[in-house]
Amino acid sequence: MTRNPRIRTINLLVENNPGVLNRVSGMIRRRGFNIEELSVGPCETAGQSRMTLTVDAGHGEGDQVRKQLGKLIEVLESRDLTDSPMAARELVLARVEAATEDRGPLLAELRERGGRVIESSPNEVIVELTADPDEAAVFIKKLRAYKLKELGRSGPVAMRGLRTTKPKKGEAANAEPATPLPWGDSI
């Protein structure tokens, strides 16, 4: 999947205070840009949160947005990760209408992508996939072939990657396979 080249992925470290999200989104809105996706949550330091946003802005405009965000008092760190190696994941939850006997292809697709079933009934299944943004988009497109009843997708959670160069198209972002845990998840 080809991403819009104008979309910039910006990562912020902010103080976890009331109104910070409003000030960040207001500053972007006042500059005439649109926030395409947003994810925010507590991080490794108490009292701080990590925010990842994708903004529809070209390279120069994205740099301007990042610098303007850096001027907000509560913003402690501001990075544009778009052209850098980055680790990014999104969560997809989907409710699909599928009778138990008709789920084979859906479950095969889910297993192939590392997803799992969260809940099931005789006529519906709720599935989960955590993947990079492009893989999540491909999975959602494939889900539309089934009777998709409800869909939820998080914005990306991203951080600087460990590589010194961005992976080439089709190359895995991490070379090590996931290690299975005794209770069924992976690390």
User: 126 and 70, same structural domain?
Assistant: no
Tokens of 91: 């969560």
Number of H helices, E strands in the chain: 4, 9
Is 2 inside any structural domain? no
Is 179 inside any structural domain? no
pLDDT (0 to 100) of residue 123: 94
Is 108 inside any structural domain? yes
pLDDT (0 to 100) of residue 40: 94
In this predicted model, what pLDDT tens digit does every residue of 88-98 receive, in sequence order?
999 999 999 99
Q: Which of 34, 52, 80 is the last residue of a domain?
A: 80
pLDDT (0 to 100) of residue 166: 59
pLDDT (0 to 100) of residue 56: 87
User: 55 and 21, same structural domain?
Assistant: yes
Is 170 inside any structural domain? no
Pick out the chain residues at pLDDT < 50: 1, 174-178, 186-187
Tokens of 128: 């989960």
User: 47 and 30, same structural domain?
Assistant: yes
User: 69 and 12, same structural domain?
Assistant: yes
User: 93 and 64, same structural domain?
Assistant: no
CATH of the domain at 27: 3.30.70.260
Element (DSSP H or E) covering residue 117: strand 116-120
Residue whose C-alpha is closest to residue 80's, from 59, 49, 100: 59
Residue whose C-alpha is closest to residue 74's, from 150, 112, 22: 22
pLDDT (0 to 100) of residue 4: 74
| Range of the structural domain that residue 40 is part of | 7-80
User: 93 and 149, same structural domain?
Assistant: yes
